[in-house]
Structure formats: structure tokens, C-alpha cells
Homo-oligomer: A and B are copies of this chain.
């Protein structure tokens, strides 16, 4: 037992990919589900392009990132939903006290507030908006969280009538809980969460605001959420 444990070595290597400030910042940034260029990430992380290039090499080699070369640009994104979930889970584990720090400027404060109201979490909706939708689904008996985390039969039907196609064939679970790091409660993730988010953005129920992950509900979205889920008012604007 004491000699060369490949399991441990693999685990350490995987964690080692994340165990660096700069790489961690990249992974968190990429949690918006979109593809970033190497230069954008370098500026975001505050290191030289040469430094970041090496980091990307390691992340890609380790299977955490997928890359796509276009002309002189190198686009990278999270390899798949599993990786996104892993990063989310780890990030959710870091003590809230570490993350909560007073904003340094008005701009930063308002950006933070926008993220707290609504944002994408890889491929699904999070923040106050994400939990409001998840709670509404639960209240209507479409989702059950009391004995686990799964859609009910009525829930599957609801997704159909809402015009949100669900692919039951995929290897991904249809529904799973994802711990929201601003709300500290679970919101809907998995194939259903991704489908709902995609539909909401396509149909204009929500729009991306700013350059990042923040998302806001449109007037049409308000109507739809009211009609389909009985959500009255604008609970996603209320501060926790």
C-alpha cells in the first residue's frame, strides 16, 4: 500500500491544475460558459501573455479546457459540464468569509449586485434569479427537492409546454442541484437547467448585461415567468 499510489498521484495532479491563483481565476472566469481568448484571460488574471500561455497549455493537456484556434486567436472554454460542475463544487466549498469582501468602488459594487441578481453558471441560470425559478418550480410540484433533486412527471410535461425541449437520452442527469454561491442554496442545473437557460436567452426572456456573466430579466420574461410559473412581481430584484 505504501508504494506509489496512482490514484493519489492522479488526484493530486488534477487538484494541482486548479491549485494556482492564475489558473483558478481562469477557470472561474470561464464558468460563464463562453470561450475566451488567451489575451483576455491574461488581462483578466493580471499576468503576462507568455505566462498565461503556459497555464493554458497545462489546463488543456489536463483535460480541463477545450481549445479552438481561429486565425491568430486561441479560444478556450471549459471542456464539458463535468468540469464546470467540479469547479463550481470546489468554489462553493471555499468559506464565504473569504469571498465576501467590501467592494472597492461604486462600479464594482453595482457589478456585484447585478451578478447577485442573475447570472449564468456555466450553462444554467444562477443568482437570485436562478433560485427564484428553482423555488417556483418546486412550489408548483414540478421539481422535488425534499427527497433528493429530480423533476416530477408534471415537471417533465411542463418543460414540454414551456417550449423548452429536453433531451432525456443524454448521459447527463436531467436535473441536479448546484449550490449557488451568492444565495447559498441550490438552484436547478443539469440538462433541464441548461435547456431552460438556453431557451430564456433565445426567446429574450433574459438578456446578458455587461460583458460578463450577469443576466437580467426582460419585460417579456416577466410575463412568461408569471404565466408559466406564477411568479408575481420581480423577486429577483429583491436583495437577499
Cβ of A94 < 8 Å from any Cβ of B? yes
Near B by CB (< 8 A), chain A positions 141-192 give: 144-153, 155-156, 168, 173-177, 190, 192
Residues of B contacting A151 with CB < 8 Å? 147-148
A15 and B147 form a contact (CB under 8 A): no
Near B by CB (< 8 A), chain A positions 100-128 give: 101
**Could you tell me the dominant secondary structure of chain A's interface residues?**
helix
Cβ of A204 < 8 Å from any Cβ of B? no
Cβ of A70 < 8 Å from any Cβ of B? no
The interface on chain A, measured as residues whose beta carbon lies within 8 A of the other chain's beta carbons, has a size of 65
- For A12, A83, A91, A177, which residue has the most chain B Cβ atoms within 10 angstroms? A12
- For A3, A6, A10, A82, which residue has the most chain B Cβ atoms within 10 angstroms? A10
Contact among B8, B83, B173 for A24, CB-based, below 8 A: B8
Q: Which A residues are closer than 8 A to B by beta carbons?
A: 1-3, 5-25, 27-28, 43-46, 63, 82-83, 85-87, 89-91, 93-95, 98-99, 101, 144-153, 155-156, 168, 173-177, 190, 192
